[in-house]
Amino acid sequence: MRRLILIAALALACTEITGDSDRIIALEIIGPLLRTVEEGDTLQLEARALDANGDIVPDAVILWAVVDTGVVGFTIGETTGLVETTAPDTGRVAAIADELPSEPVRIEVSPAPDSVASVSATRDTVDSGEPASAALTVEVLDTTSDALPLPLIGKPVHFDVVEPPPGEPAGAGIFLATADTVPGADPHHLEVVSQALGQAWVVVRKVSGTTPPDSAVVHATVVTATGDTVAGSPVRFVVLFQ
């Protein structure tokens, strides 16, 4: 009889331990703990709950909250994890399940560009002995701050040869480049990320062994992360070949 009682007690204890192994012991953020997003854009965060065995708890209720006080540049949906940005700012958010918080995710909202302009001559002449034009340079700016216009680093600028029109034989004699001396996969389009002072540039380079066109027109265009074309786009450059 005592043996039966002992076996029953052990069985009950094992059942309780097994039940405990199913409870949430950790929240894992899916993706990096530092995210950069442009103002006006959105960011979807995800997390998963894990039990003591390291398995995902599929029916866990995961909520989201801003960790830091005073954050006004973004909000996060409590049940969705969707970050909506409104202004440059920095703050941390965390996922929560059964009162257990995850590691915080740092959100950095970068300014959106709202202006692009040339900072080099928009017209250049390439002599017959020169391999390429001068640098065709633009500057990407945020002009909405209270201070002076803010040059923005890390913003993509799209440079395109629009004349001669893409596909015309005359265009085969030139390509866009920064450092390369041979054409890339798309010789008449190049995306360049703005660097120091918010500047990005390309040159129009001659293809060795071919005859360049009499002239080329290059457009530089900047768009926001949400697809809006920035004021000043396209910046128009004209290159003449002698």
pLDDT digits (tens, 9 = 90+) for 142-191: 998 666 899 999 999 999 999 999 889 999 999 999 999 999 899 999 99
115-241 topology per CATH: Immunoglobulin-like (2.60.40)
pLDDT digits (tens, 9 = 90+) for 113-138: 999 999 999 999 999 999 999 999 99
pLDDT digits (tens, 9 = 90+) for 84-96: 999 999 999 999 9
Band of pLDDT at residue 13, cut at 50, 70 and 90:
very low
CATH 2.60.40.10 in the chain, residue ranges: 115-241
Decide yes or no: CATH 1.20.950.20 for domain 25-110: no
Of 194, 186, 185, give the one whose Cα is nearest residue 220.
Answer: 194
- Residue identified by tokens 């027109």 is 217
| Peptide bond connecting 164 to the previous residue in cis, omega within 30 degrees of 0 | yes
Predicted local confidence at residue 166, as pLDDT: 87
CATH 2.60.40.1080 in the chain, residue ranges: 25-110
Rounded to two decimals, what is the model's pTM? Answer: 0.82
The vertex-110 CA angle with 227 and 115, nearest 5°, equals 55
pLDDT digits (tens, 9 = 90+) for 54-100: 999 999 999 999 999 999 999 999 999 999 999 999 999 999 999 99
